[in-house]
Amino acid sequence: MKINTSAVAGTLESSDVYVKVEPCETLEIEIESVVYNQFAEQIEATIKAVLAELGVESGKVSVNDKGAIDCVIQARVETAVKRAGGEK
């Protein structure tokens, strides 16, 4: 399924992540993070896993990460996707 509208979730506070999802033909993930060098791959894997679980096949997901741990990233991505009406 697809992301139909844009939505955001999260904040730019330390230990949080700001997630934006937008409609897009393909699946695109854009990561900005204060811990990019240490965790970029893990952040991407986490986002992909949440999208897969929610059945999102296409859409653009951009995150601005302030050092959020995995379960926070998962929560914010899920919230943004659900707000975008992409819920199954």
> What is the nearest approach in angstroms of another protein to the Cβ of residue 88?
15
Q: Does 2 help bind another protein (rule: CB under 8 A)?
A: no
Starting at the edge strand found earlier in the chain, the sheet holding 17-22 runs 7-9, 17-22, 59-65, 27-33
> What is the nearest approach in angstroms of another protein to the Cβ of residue 68?
6
The interface mask with another protein, positions 13-42, x = CB under 8 A, is: xxxx-----------------xx-xxx-xx
8 Å CB contact between 59 and 21: yes
Which two three-digit tokens encode residue 59?
Answer: 């859409």
Judged by CB, which is closer to another protein: 59, or 76? 76
